[in-house]
Structure 1
Amino acid sequence: MPICNNCGNKWSWSTSLKMGFQFQRGVTCKFCGEKQYQTQASMWKTSLYSMIPILLLPVVILLNLSVLLSLTIFLIPQLIVIAMYPYTLELSTEQEPLW
């Protein structure tokens, strides 16, 4: 779980997950009020993990699976990636560019 770089408090799973669904770059720490940003390394990790369900597309096409089974193959890994997002999230007090 991510830890605020300003106050050192550990964020909850739900607070960390909310950061992934917001379109703004920084999120204010609910303990100290300081704005926190996702680190560059953390952005790369989450980008790579989110590609896993997409990489399953050739498997589904080659195996010619039913629609229900195809959706299951996509949804289960996607839910796992979303659930694991707070564990891969790292915070910084400074906004870092992606590259």
Structure 2
Amino acid sequence: MTVCRNCGKRWGLFKTYKIVFANDGVECPNCGKKQYLSGSSLINLLFGSTVIIFFILVPFLVKLSNEEEQIY
């Protein structure tokens, strides 16, 4: 769960989603200090989004063949 790095208070689900889509950070509801996504969180979100999009698109990208074909 998301925790403020200044005061240590846990954030709720709504605040956590809000910071993901905020470009300029979000203030902690407890201490008022502005918090930002860490670099590792950005990388994790990017990788996770890519994997999810890949699995959603796979059924639309796969075509079958009656014979084994070579990759050129």
Same fold (TM over 0.5): yes
Q: Which residue of 2 aligns with 1:38?
A: 37
Q: Are positions 1:13 and 2:33 aligned together?
A: no
By how many angstroms is 1:11 displaced?
0.3
Q: Aligned partners of 1:4 and 1:54: how far apart in 2?
A: 30
Unaligned runs of 5+ in 2: 65-72
Pairwise mapping of residues 1-99 of structure 1 onto structure 2 (< 5 A)? Answer: 1-22=1-22, 24-56=23-55, 57-63=57-63
- For residues 2 and 10 of structure 1, the distance between their equivalents in structure 2, rounded to whole angstroms, comes to 6
Q: Matched residues in 1 for 2:15 and 2:58: separation?
A: 35
RMSD: 1.8
C-alpha distance after superposition, 1:72-93 (max 9, x if no partner): xxxxxxxxxxxxxxxxxxxxxx
In structure 2, how many angstroms separate the alpha carbons of the residues matched to 1:63 and 1:11? 45
Identical amino acids, percent of aligned pairs = 32
Distance 1:18 1:26 in 2: 9
Deviation beyond 4 Å, 4+ runs, structure 1: none
Instruction: Decide which structure has greater helix share.
Output: 1
Larger radius of gyration: 2
Output the TM-score relative to the length of structure 2: 0.74
Instruction: Show structure 1 runs of 5+ residues with no match.
Output: 65-99
For 1:21 and 1:40, locate their aligned partners in 2 and report how far apart those are by CA, in whole Å.
14
Greater RCO between the two (CA within 8 Å, min separation 6)? 1
